[in-house]
Amino acid sequence: MEHRIAHADSKNVTPRDSNSFSVSQLSKEMIDKHYNKPITGHVIISDAKTGEVLETPNLVLLGGREFVAQKIADLAANVLIPNTSSNGETSSINLANYKIRYFGVGSGGASVSNALSKIGPYDDDTNLRAPASFGTKDSVNYPYDYLHGGKLKRIEADGGKIEIVAESHTITNSVNISAMTTIKYTMYIERQEISRPFLFNEASLYAVEYAGDVPASPNSNDSTTSGYAANYRAFARFTTSTKVLDTTDSLKIEWFILT
């Protein structure tokens, strides 16, 4: 008789920070919200001036999971999109040409009266609550670094990177395997970006519609639109306690998506 041994793959998703933070310290509600999901991840935020490091879990949103489902199946689907039409909310949206290439930040992730009290994220979020504008560089020397009036910044601008990196998987106590199953997005908020002081407490990764190697015009038949107004959807979001950025502050954000 053939005997099969079942192995449970336990991903190494335990967050780390300067205070030796462990996922075991999280409440069941927090673990269910961020880690008991098909796709998980976490974010490390570094202050270039102070060296302060903050780590927080992200939430891959329902809209982000719809994006992943279409990518894996290579099929368009009837998905819900917010609108006010009397015809209902179900529309056929093909996300095949969308790519996660942009991010945004904002000030809607914590209570105004209590900067330590986070708001969300929630599975049905479709955007940041209070998105900030990075401003804009000239489009000749820095094409498509910013979309939608500066609300979305290209991840790979200013030295940012997108990589697939190794992740440690514990199969059993004696079996550990490293596999290239983690996507790492490295992005920067520069000192000259965003009006200061800026109350930073939320961020989002965005999937943007592309035409070849550049963002796509939302209406190819309209000469007044361009890739700078490309269709997009929020993929993942995190919120954190408020950090006040002044004119000399810059941040490095390392965002890990574990598949």
Rounded to two decimals, the pTM is: 0.84
Across the range 76-80, mean pLDDT stands at 68
CB 167 within 8 A of CB 258: yes
- Domain positions in the chain are 10-135+148-212+231-258
For residue range 26-70, list pLDDT tens digits in order: 677 666 667 667 788 999 999 978 888 899 999 999 999 999 999
More confident call, 211 vs 220: 211
Closest CA to 204 of 142, 259, 255: 255
Across the range 221-247, mean pLDDT stands at 91
| Number of Cβ within a 10 Å radius of residue 231 | 17
pLDDT of residue 125: 95
Long-range contacts: 14-23, Cβ < 8 Å, 24+? 15/42, 15/55, 15/56, 15/57, 16/55, 17/44, 17/53, 17/54, 17/55, 18/52, 18/53, 21/55
Q: Which two tokens stand for residue 114?
A: 């209590």
Closest CA to 102 of 157, 57, 139: 157
For residue range 112-156, list pLDDT tens digits in order: 888 778 999 999 999 999 999 998 888 889 999 999 999 999 999
pLDDT of residue 71: 93
**Confidence band (pLDDT; 50, 70, 90) for 21?**
very low
pLDDT of residue 155: 98
Closest CA to 185 of 155, 210, 207: 155
| pLDDT > 70 fraction of the chain, expressed in percent and rounded | 81
Tell me if residue 232 falls in helix, strand or coil. Answer: strand
For residue range 159-204, list pLDDT tens digits in order: 999 999 998 888 888 899 999 999 999 999 999 899 999 999 999 9
CB 197 within 8 A of CB 169: no
